[in-house]
Structure 1
Amino acid sequence: MMNQAVSFFDLHDSRVNIADPYDHEYHVKVPKVFCGITIDEYYSKRFPYKTRDLWMKSIEEGRVRINGLPITPDTVIQPEAIIDSLVYDIREPPINVSWNVLFEDEYLYIIDKPGHLPVHPTGRFYKHSFLQIMMDRDPGWKIHVMHRLDVETSGILIVGKTKEAASAFFKIFKNKEIQKEYKALVRGAFPKEGIIVDGPLGKSINSTISVKMEVNGVDNKEAISKYELLELRENGTSLIKCIPITGRTNQLRAHIEHAGFPILGDKIYCKDDSIFHDYHEDGETESLKKKLILNRQALHAYKVSFIHPFTKEQMTIESDFPDDINYFGEV
């Protein structure tokens, strides 16, 4: 019997630290969307997981420059600006470094990515990423990741072993010759007939989370998702199948929240912005754990189907829904 003092959140936590604290100097060309705002606003919007006081201190100490020149918090970012920033004692969040290989040949390396593993260096993760780990293991191997999976999303990740394989696979994705299916555990009793959400996605107008997408948001693009019920659970949750018809950022998560069935454990698409902000300001407090229940969002890329671009074999790769998000307890 499970020790009642140990929450489901902690019981399935397999994250570890693999990188020692380090100093690093970043050189970033500012995206056009941030031109015309102050450096203070830029850091607040682009890096919401850092407190404003930390950035202000870095600026005051001269560790942030634009085009090599010292700045003040009210310096306005101009087009083509390059920000240089020296950051001390960087401590990256722990990650899950255990993955299974589902398929491998001379062209492809397909893994079952665990949750809490960034694919690329992003946000708070630099050394803690799948690509960096692979480069450290074999510096001579240039790998090519074929598609996105969020940090917390688990499941099938397709990697090309050669430039030729990457080029062939990008064509498959571009021509929509690959079928991807996900499973998710959502709050609420999902309708037996399933739903289709046809709503263009853009940057959120109504949220205080700068990275959040929403239906009819700013600069929205066509987005269509299909959802099917797999299992109604007695705890008030539903296991569903999710099929992205288009491929927008955070599409499945944004659409299912819009439909009224947020994914369990999702810190952004949960109808409560304070969860995201509390997480980035105070970490995984006991109060936050009770709200989230799971230590990551319950979304898993469980199936892909495609014709192998070189062998012409029909490929169908599947992955089981993982234990760390397969929750039957009280919600």
Structure 2
Amino acid sequence: MGRQAEANSYVPLPVRNGVAPSYLWLTETLAGGMLRFLTERFPDVAPASWAARLERGEVVDALGAPLQANSHVRKGMRVWYYRELDEGETPIPFREQILFQDEHLLVVDKPHFLPMIPTGRFLHETLLVRLKAQLELPHLTPIHRLDRETAGVVIFSHNIETRGRYQSMFQKRVVKKTYEALAGPIEGHAFPFTYTSRMVDGDKFFVMTEEPGEPNSETLIELIERRGDIVRYRLHPHTGRKHQLRLHLASLGAPILNDAFYPVALPCKGDDFSAPLQLLARSISFDDPLTGQSRTFTSERTLAWPE
């Protein structure tokens, strides 16, 4: 799909129900008109949907002028539009909780199953769109991410002028992130211990795997409590690889409860809302780059021990 609107440039369409407009840069001049171009560029979107959007004036150029079905497609044009889903979304029956808000940051306790941003089959049922619709913060942007399956603390910026200062904290790895997970016992290790490995993309685009070589991922693992064959771990990722905690625990023989990706990616059968991944981003701590104040934000959610 196209790119999301940039917060610091002119945007000819407003945020609508929490959804920011997207845009395309046209890299060549094509015959056949705008409707033909859009239906060929987005084959998964029904032509009737694009025709209706053009008729409603919801596809515009860089100056906000509505485009027509027969409008010329010229190299260098910027075309703005709203992303829509032709099929309805499955409601995510869990709500986010706002933990903190000031003139710079918004800190949220994300539920399981809720994606961070619009992607694939998710649009309105995403944390970013929900928050924009609820709080009317058009410049809201996450400055780090959580997996859709993971719950817990996540931080957004809604001030363009100070966003870079907070983003740099994550780039410099000066933010302390603590997670908790429920999994089986890890044998052969004295706690706490540090696990390292070399993580690379797996043969399926949505999973990671490990290979021999120089480690590029590191996690400190602590044992909090054990109940029978289930253990609650505290995890401190010193690097931020995709699915790092999930892969590390699975590689240690203790996959996180209800993990559908590790150690084996299961066939997609849709979400089972009764069995969320038992991984929680418990807290985030950092020294505020604007004030120097030490800050810690903690999730109020709990993991669900099996009965």
What TM-score, normalized by structure 2, do the two folds share?
A: 0.69
CA separation of 1:68/1:146 partners in 2, compared to 1, >3 Å: closer, same or farther? closer
Closer/same/farther in 2, CA of residues 194 and 107 from structure 1, 3 Å limit: same
Unaligned runs of at least 5 residues, structure 2: 1-21, 26-34, 47-84
Instruction: Look up the SS of the partner of 1:121 in the other structure.
Output: coil
Secondary structure of the equivalent of 1:85? coil
Match of 1:216 in 2: 211
Alignment of 1:236-255 (within 5 A): 236-255=229-248
Alignment of 1:202-213 (within 5 A): 202-205=200-203, 209-213=204-208
Pair 1:260 & 2:253 matched: yes
1:306 equivalent in alignment to 2:292: no
Shift of 1:222: 1.2
Aligned to 1:148: 145
CA–CA distance in structure 2, aligned partners of residues 179 and 231 of structure 1: 22
Identity level (%): 26
How many matched pairs?
A: 238
TM-score under structure 1 normalisation?
0.64
Q: CA deviation at 1:311?
A: 2.2
CA distance in 1, matches of 2:23, 2:264: 34
Deviation at 1:199, TM superposition (A): 0.8
Give the superposition deviation at 1:112: 1.1
Match of 1:297 among 259, 266, 277: 277
Maintained 8 Å contact 2:194/2:220: yes
- Please give the alpha-carbon distance, in whole angstroms, between the structure 1 residues aligned to 2:109 and 2:251: 28
Kindly report which structure 2 residues correspond to 1:314-329, keeping only aligned pairs within 5 A, or say none: 314-322=294-302, 325-329=303-307
Tell me which structure has the larger Cα radius of gyration: 2
* Deviation at residue 66 of structure 1 after TM alignment: 10
Aligned position for 2:68: none
CA distance in 2, matches of 1:67, 1:214: 39
Within-5 A mapping of 1:163-178? 163-178=160-175
- Written as runs of structure 1 = structure 2, the 5 A alignment for 1:93-132 is 93-132=90-129
Deviation at 1:243, TM superposition (A): 0.9
For 2:217 and 2:36, the matched residues in 1 are separated by: 37
- Aligned Cα root-mean-square deviation (Å): 3.0
Q: By how many angstroms is 1:193 displaced?
A: 1.6
Deviation by residue 1:187-236 (Cα, 9 ceiling, x = unmatched): 2356552332211111124xxx431101129x9971111211111112x1
In the alignment, structure 1 segments of 5+ residues that lack a partner are 1-25, 30-64, 71-81
More helix by share: 1
Query: Which digits, 9 at most, give the CA deviation of each residue in 1:57-94, with x for residues without a partner?
Result: xxxxxxxx996686xxxxxxxxxxx5442157413232
Q: How far does residue 139 in structure 1 lie from its aligned partner after superposition?
A: 4.7
Question: In the alignment, which of 214, 220, 223 is matched to residue 226 of structure 1?
Answer: 220
Letter in 1 for 2:106: Y
| 1:98 match: secondary structure | coil
Establish whether residue 86 from structure 1 lines up as the match of residue 45 from structure 2: yes
